[in-house]
Structure 1
Amino acid sequence: MKPGEKFIDAAFTRRMHRNRYRSIWISDLHLGTSGCQAERLLEFLQATESDTLYLVGDIIDGWQLKRRWYWNQTHNNVVQAVLKKAKRGTQVFFVPGNHDEAVRQYIGLDLGGIRIRDEMVHVTAAGKRMLVLHGDRFDGVIACAKWLAYLGDNLYTLVLKFNQVYNAWRARAGLPYWSLSQYLKHKVKNAVSYIASFEKALAAEARSQGLDGVICGHIHKAEIRDIDGITYCNDGDWVESLTALVEDHDGALRIVTWQEVVVVKDRLRAEEESMAGVPA
């Protein structure tokens, strides 16, 4: 073997291991809406591998599709990428949320290699037992006033449309992305209180089941934190934050972003091509 080939193999191995995980959790994709960052999601799916992939609810936005049909080729490509992973041996679990609640009638079935479950317990490599569920049934608004949840969803859609226009201007001005919805969540007292109550309710449910932690989605706020001895994990969303929760092979849980995963992959590919004497 030539020296150059040895270096190329090493670079390739590093690239594969940097984006190879034991488990990945993604949620709140909202396929079927213009707000879904389907192209970046597809890049993330193509750049990562895992033994298990959890789809933690609101994968397809049935609420919005009932109002207005929106579905382009990239959304198809995302679905095909998930099916391809299942076909190649990745265990794929789909835990429906409130926006794709119609899928709940198929709980317990395996369709096209996708296992549909209401909630699950995931055991990490470190032995931690984690409850996996979307989390909408712990949302007081959805549980008690679903009409208000629909209203909130419409308002959120309007905020996203404003964001798209405003951030197109910011991009032309060379400025980074800015999220009005995230700003409001952090600044409005009632929103902060709502998020804290939701997180505590999920942690309490995990504790009541004798588990070590909980993994959820729903509120579009990626976070890992300790709540009275319970590990609370939220994998975020693919509308604005573009985040996922991953488990490394030693059982460590962490949040990753589209940017860090795809940028690392591209940098290592450039390094591999450079070592091979090919212009990056």
Structure 2
Amino acid sequence: MTDEAATRHFRTLFISDTHLGAKASQAEMLIDFLRYHDAEKVYLVGDIVDGWRLKRSWNWPQSHNDVVQKLLRKARKGSTIIYIPGNHDEFLRDFTGRHFGGVEVKLNDVHETADGRRFLVMHGDEFDVVVRNARIIAYLGDWAYDAAIAINLVFNTIRRRLGFPYWSFSSWAKLKVKNAVNFIGAFEKALAEEAHRMGCDGVICGHIHHAQLAEFGDVSYVNTGDWVESCTAIAERYDGSFELIRWSEVVRTHDHKKAAAPRIVPEQAQIVRPTEAA
């Protein structure tokens, strides 16, 4: 199966929290995802480059560079690429309105779907009280997160040797901690309220590494997830519906390149159609 034959085409793709520069970044998984998915427009919804970790220690393997080259290649082939910086790549907020190799930097954007709905696109750290008001605590939390991810890597190395598929221990643990669950709920509600205040039908964000398609009253909440724990992305179909793609569930191991191209299985249970958003 060739790349061209296997590629799924969408109107828009939304990707966030790839954390290139961090050792835990699943760059190779992302490269495969980009190989089999294409779109007229691609939103990079923040924390694509992890400036926080690069300041502490430089880590930029070839696979991270390949992700950048893959995105630039899509831009050269006609895709519109919009980069909305997050807190980990906040240095790019100083370049708002600039274009780099066909990639435009914006603080946020309003995306209109094929069926005419308007979605506020932003990273979401603006509504994280810890990030905004207690930067030291945010950095401490980032170090704790690194530790959890390190445990996750060891855990999945053992699972892979035993023949089990990838599973995010850190993501599971996060959803078992009451405070974390409460924070996620408050974050989702705050973003939905901001979208409503802006006169939009919904919001598309990242930041909290928890992919989600949900409804808050008449406002749609869409979170792209991440490429450290869950390896997820959001795709807009040509009818304006959204699809949550869990690539880690499609690709069983990092060695899947040795086998035939994977069968793409959309998460049918989590597709938001225009009629459901009304």
TM-score by length of structure 2 reads: 0.88
Cα drift, residue 110 of structure 1: 1.2
Q: CA deviation at 1:99?
A: 0.1
Give the letter aligned to residue 254 of structure 1.
E
In terms of fraction of residues, the more helix-rich structure is: 1
Relative to structure 1, the CA distance from residue 100 to residue 226 in structure 2 (aligned partners, 3 Å threshold; closer, same or farther) is same
Does residue 157 of structure 1 match 2:152? no
* Bigger Rg, which one: 1
- How many Å separate the matches in 1 of 2:225 and 2:3? 29
What are the superposed Cα offsets for residues 25-65 of structure 1, whole Å, 9 maximum, x if unpaired?
A: 00000000110001110111111110000000000000000
After TM superposition, list the pairs within 5 Å mapping 1:124-273 onto structure 2: 124-259=113-248, 266=261
Q: How many percent identity over aligned positions? A: 48
Tell me the amino acid that sits aligned with residue 184 of structure 2.
I
Change (3 A) 1:40 1:59: same
C-alpha spacing 1:12/1:115, structure 2 compared with 1 (3 Å): closer
Secondary structure of 1:256's counterpart equals: strand
Distance 1:250 1:260 in 2: 25
Deviations 1:131-156 (A, max 9, x none): 00000010011111111111011111
Secondary structure of 1:244 counterpart? strand
Q: Which runs of 5+ in 2 are unaligned?
A: 253-259, 265-278
Aligned amino acid, residue 86 of structure 2:
G
- Please tell me the residue identity of whatever aligns with 2:237: D
Q: Structure 2 CA distance, aligned partners of 1:170 and 1:260? A: 14
- Specify the SS of the correspondent of 1:134: coil
| Residues in 1 aligned to 2:262 and 2:165: alpha-carbon distance in whole angstroms | 21
Q: 1:14 to 1:86 in 2, by over 3 A?
A: closer
Change in Cα spacing, 1:199 to 1:170, as seen in structure 2 (3 Å) is same
- In structure 2, the partner of 1:48 is 37
- Aligned-partner residue type, residue 22 of structure 1: R
Q: Which has the higher contact order (CA 8 A, sep 6+)?
A: 1
SS in 1 for 2:244: strand
**Residues 14 and 179 from structure 1, CA distance in 2 versus in 1: closer, same or farther, beyond 3 angstroms?**
closer
Q: Return the match for 2:73 from 84, 87, 99.
A: 84
Q: 2 CA distance for matches of 1:119 and 1:127?
A: 19
Q: State the shift of 1:267 in Å.
A: 5.1
* RMSD (Å), alpha carbons: 2.1
> Distance between the aligned counterparts of 1:143 and 1:219, measured in 2?
14
In the alignment, structure 1 segments of 5+ residues that lack a partner are: 1-7, 270-280
